[in-house]
Amino acid sequence: MIQTLNQQTVIKTNRLIVISFTLFGLLLAVSVGLMLQINDLNSTLNVEKQETLVHSASNTQSAGNFSTVIAPRAFQYSGYLMVYGTSTTDNAWVKLEYWVNGKLYSFTQTLGTQGELFFALPKTDSAAVYTGNLNPTDEAATTLTIIYNY
């Protein structure tokens, strides 16, 4: 009888140990998942993330015209765009246009034959990037890389 009680006690103890380890593993997995989410949020709040939107995209604009580099899209987080580019004309420009709460904002910077431009970017409903050529007689070939930092 004592041996049967001891066996039952051992079985119950083993079950409790298995349940304890299972719960510990579950809590550990949940806490690791939460830490990853917290780290991801901190990276976003500190503008430590990057996304290459366009890499060495080439466009040719006829005299006085422009082309779309990034089609309209929403940006979920505030941050900034870094634009690296070259052009065959010193009259090349880059424009960022975005909509926030129904209002259009537009910012243009001169690229010239080579440049590095920065555009502040809030959370947007829609935004687009254009490149253009102010040269009145000659076409221009422009190559851009655009990185979104958020």
- In tens, the pLDDT along 50-108 reads 999 999 999 999 998 988 888 899 999 999 999 999 999 999 999 999 999 999 999 99
**pTM (predicted TM-score):** 0.71
Question: Is 130:94 a contact under the CB 8 Å cutoff?
Answer: yes
How far is 14 from 9, CA to CA, in rounded Å? Answer: 8
Sign of CA dihedral 66, 71, 72, 74: negative
